[in-house]
């Protein structure tokens, strides 16, 4: 495969963005659907090239392709190059990002049909995909950071896509600002690595080599790795920078799907995996990643237990599963973390598309206004159940295999973190099937579509004529459901782990069930499903009664631990507005304005004093001249 074609993987979506923005929107806005076709064609081309790259990387020595670097700019003796790092990790991420994005674009044609911002939507989605593809291919931290910020910009534009809604505009600002906090740590780490490295390099492979040879000091390496993890924690919504992700649901549902499955939040996990040699040589940094990951997993799951909004439940699930991935990385296994990212991309994308399909029919995301959709929307129900089973970790679906990989490395590394992860298994299964029973079981409880949906009309029995989504939305969901079943099988013989450079541990399709640890996690997941059925299906126990019995915990969970209020009060109002902005106001008032106003006052005062000398009276001027001549004469006499 020609090396020039590899560059097209991320350049094609950028070209799509340019064509839609500069040609279709200004000149062909009456043919808005053309925007969707252009985006699909470009990202489909990226997927085809990504599959070719994957094939080449599998056959290449060391599972890496050598791509010639391109000189970007030369400033004196400093030369900035653009380069691509195409190894096994890159190849996996390219297929995930381009594959999931393509299905989301196809689905979006049905979901966004008739929206006034149709062309703008596909332009932003193309830019989003291109930025993420460029990020995973970058061979140096400067280039990676440019695309990293591009991903952040696109998330802001797409979360606030319906900017006329204050909630969407606020959610976009929140996402942008919170992730910037983490990006500050990443930027500091990048600058520190450049300043401390012997040759002043930001090349990723060279930094790996410096870490492995001990050229980067122990304490410095720890802080640099933690700075990198700060950036990853912001993008991947790890505690305490997780608060932006649930609010990001204000954007269109396909955007949420892409953010949660293959772009924004996957970037943080990828960054830790890409820079893993730095973490590997710092036990403190690895421990930080593992502890934050395990805590985030169970922390986010608790909020998913009670959230009434279907998209927010799935959002909390994403935060929790990202915690799982970080736990796997922190336990020293890149393969475990990336394998779960790989599987998670398919079933999480499917869950969001299923939520969008439900909203397309009912006009609401509130599960309290749903119910009874199983018969009205059989394809959505079927695919949503498959995704939920995979998320819960039920054999033999994909989530089972990657979840157990992480549990296994946690069990070997830290028993307390393993227990946290195991408790999260129960919660994940419970909230996943809580969504299914509230949304698809029972009878329809009336929603926004009753007179306000997507054109739905009543059926004469007090309920809208709910119907399945169009084929353009259903087909991508079916394709994702197939992947949610089989993607975990790619590591049955340890092939996936071996491809990423780790020791292969063959599992076997049925052999995994002989593993006591796998049986334990499977039993815990089944217990969570049964518990959800008992509360929301068979109603052996009243959900309201449980809420009253555990009122203190319920209040904590439903109010999201009051962290939004804490951040708003302590950090925004007190620290930023009162302290930081207050000090800046004082500095601006008394220093900046003081210097400027003082200079002006001095000039005005001097002018007023000098003005008194200009009286306009000739006799006064004559007297001044006489006194001047007299003074000069006196001086001359004294000098002689």
* Predicted confidence band of residue 465 (pLDDT cuts 50, 70, 90): low
Say how far apart CA 92 and CA 339 lie, in whole Å: 9
**What pLDDT is stored for residue 467 in this prediction?**
87
**pLDDT at 3 exceeding the cut of 80:** no
Q: How confident is the model over 160-191, as pLDDT tens digits?
A: 999 999 999 999 999 999 999 999 999 999 99
Among candidates 266, 281, 268, 443, which has minimal Cα distance to 369?
Answer: 443
**pLDDT at 457 exceeding the cut of 50:** no
**What pLDDT is stored for residue 451 in this prediction?**
36
Q: How confident is the model over 559-616, as pLDDT tens digits?
A: 999 999 998 888 888 887 788 888 898 898 889 888 998 899 899 988 888 777 777 7
**pLDDT at 517 exceeding the cut of 70:** yes
Phi first, then psi: give them for residue 72, nearest 5 degrees. -95, -60
**What pLDDT is stored for residue 144 in this prediction?**
96
Which of the pair, 208 or 508, is modelled with greater confidence? 208
Q: Are 401 and 471 in contact (CB under 8 A)?
A: no
**What pLDDT is stored for residue 461 in this prediction?**
35
Q: How confident is the model over 328-338, as pLDDT tens digits?
A: 999 999 999 99
Among candidates 433, 310, 446, which has minimal Cα distance to 365?
Answer: 310
**What pLDDT is stored for residue 606 in this prediction?**
86
Give the range among 102-116, 194-208, 419-433 with minimum mean pLDDT. Answer: 194-208
Quick one: average pLDDT of 423-427? 97
Burial-class residue 446 by CB neighbours within 10 Å (0-12, 13-18, 19+): middle
Say how far apart CA 579 and CA 583 lie, in whole Å: 6
Give 35's contacts (C-beta < 8 A, 6+ positions apart).
Answer: 20, 24, 25, 118, 119, 121, 122, 123
**pLDDT at 130 exceeding the cut of 70:** yes
Q: Give the 3-state secondary structure of 376-440.
A: CCHHHHHHHHHHHHHHHCCCCCHHHHHHHHHHHHHHHHCHHHHHHHHHHHHHHHHHHHHHHHHHH
Q: What percent of the chain has pLDDT over 70?
A: 96
Q: How confident is the model over 259-313, as pLDDT tens digits?
A: 999 889 999 999 999 999 999 999 999 999 999 999 999 999 999 999 999 999 9
* Predicted confidence band of residue 30 (pLDDT cuts 50, 70, 90): low
**What pLDDT is stored for residue 518 in this prediction?**
92
In the predicted model, what is the mean pLDDT of the chain?
90
**pTM for the whole thing?**
0.89
**What pLDDT is stored for residue 197 in this prediction?**
65
Strand partners, 539: none
Q: How confident is the model over 242-259, as pLDDT tens digits?
A: 999 999 999 999 999 999
**pLDDT at 458 exceeding the cut of 50:** no
**What pLDDT is stored for residue 215 in this prediction?**
84
Which of the pair, 37 or 606, is modelled with greater confidence? 37
The CA distances from residue 349 to 30, 103, 376, 596, in Å, are 31, 9, 22, 57
* Predicted confidence band of residue 511 (pLDDT cuts 50, 70, 90): confident
* Predicted confidence band of residue 508 (pLDDT cuts 50, 70, 90): confident
**What pLDDT is stored for residue 312 in this prediction?**
94
């Amino acid at each position: 495969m020609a090396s020039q074609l590899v560059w097209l993987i991320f350049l094609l979506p950028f070209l799509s963005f340019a064509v839609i923005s500069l040609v279709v929107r200004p000149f062909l806005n009456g043919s808005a659907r053309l925007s969707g076709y252009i985006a699909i064609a470009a990202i489909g081309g990226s997927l085809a090239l990504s599959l070719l790259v994957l094939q080449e990387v599998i056959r290449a020595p060391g599972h890496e392709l050598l791509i010639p670097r391109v000189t970007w700019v030369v400033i004196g003796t400093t030369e900035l190059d653009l380069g691509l790092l195409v190894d096994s990790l890159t190849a996996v991420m390219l297929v995930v990002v381009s594959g999931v994005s393509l299905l989301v674009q196809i689905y979006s044609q049905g979901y966004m049909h008739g929206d006034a911002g149709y062309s703008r939507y596909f332009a932003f989605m193309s830019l989003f995909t291109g930025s993420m593809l460029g990020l995973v291919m970058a061979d140096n931290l400067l280039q990676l950071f440019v695309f990293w910020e591009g991903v952040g910009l696109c998330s802001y534009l797409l979360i606030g896509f319906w900017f006329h809604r204050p909630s969407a505009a606020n959610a976009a600002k929140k996402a942008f600002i919170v992730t910037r906090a983490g990006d500050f740590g990443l930027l500091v780490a990048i600058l520190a690595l450049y300043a401390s490295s012997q040759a002043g390099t930001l090349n990723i492979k060279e930094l790996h080599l410096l870490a492995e040879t001990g050229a980067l000091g122990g304490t410095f390496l720890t802080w640099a790795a933690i700075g990198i993890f700060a950036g990853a924690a912001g993008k991947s919504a790890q505690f305490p920078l997780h608060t932006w992700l649930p609010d990001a649901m204000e954007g269109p549902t396909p955007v949420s799907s892409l953010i949660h499955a293959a772009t924004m939040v996957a970037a943080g996990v990828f960054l830790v995996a890409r820079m893993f040699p730095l973490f590997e040589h710092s036990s403190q940094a690895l421990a930080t990643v593992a502890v934050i990951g395990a805590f985030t997993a169970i922390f986010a799951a608790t909020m998913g237990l009670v959230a009434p909004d279907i998209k927010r439940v799935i959002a909390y699930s994403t935060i929790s599963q990202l915690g799982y991935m970080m736990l796997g990385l922190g336990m020293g296994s890149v393969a475990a973390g990336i394998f779960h990212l790989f599987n998670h991309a398919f079933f999480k994308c499917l869950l969001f598309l299923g939520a969008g399909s439900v909203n397309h029919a009912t006009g609401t995301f509130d599960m309290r206004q749903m119910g009874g959709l199983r018969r009205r929307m059989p394809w959505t129900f079927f695919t949503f159940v498959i995704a939920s089973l995979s998320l819960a970790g039920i054999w033999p679906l994909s989530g089972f295999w990657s979840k157990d990989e992480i549990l296994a490395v946690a069990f070997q590394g830290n028993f307390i973190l393993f227990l946290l992860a195991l408790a999260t298994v129960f919660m994940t299964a419970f909230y996943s099937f809580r969504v299914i029973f509230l949304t698809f079981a029972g009878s329809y409880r009336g929603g926004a579509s009753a007179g306000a949906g997507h054109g739905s009309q009543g059926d004469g029995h007090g309920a809208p004529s709910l119907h399945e989504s169009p084929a353009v939305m259903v087909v991508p969901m079916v394709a994702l459901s197939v992947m949610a079943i089989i993607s975990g099988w790619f590591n049955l013989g340890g092939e996936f782990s071996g491809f990423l450079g780790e020791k292969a541990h063959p599992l076997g399709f049925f052999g995994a069930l002989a593993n006591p640890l796998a049986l334990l996690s499977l039993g815990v997941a089944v217990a969570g499903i049964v518990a959800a059925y008992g509360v929301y299906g068979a109603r052996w126990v009243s959900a309201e009664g449980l809420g009253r019995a555990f009122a203190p915990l319920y209040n904590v969970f439903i109010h999201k631990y009051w962290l939004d209020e804490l951040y708003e009060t302590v950090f925004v109002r007190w620290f930023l507005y009162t302290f930081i902005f207050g000090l800046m106001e004082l500095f601006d008032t008394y220093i900046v304005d003081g210097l400027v106003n003082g200079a002006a006052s001095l000039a005005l005062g001097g002018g007023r004093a000098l003005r008194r000398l200009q009286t306009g009276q000739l006799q006064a001027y004559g007297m001044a001249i006489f006194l001047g001549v007299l003074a000069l004469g006196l001086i001359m006499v004294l000098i002689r």
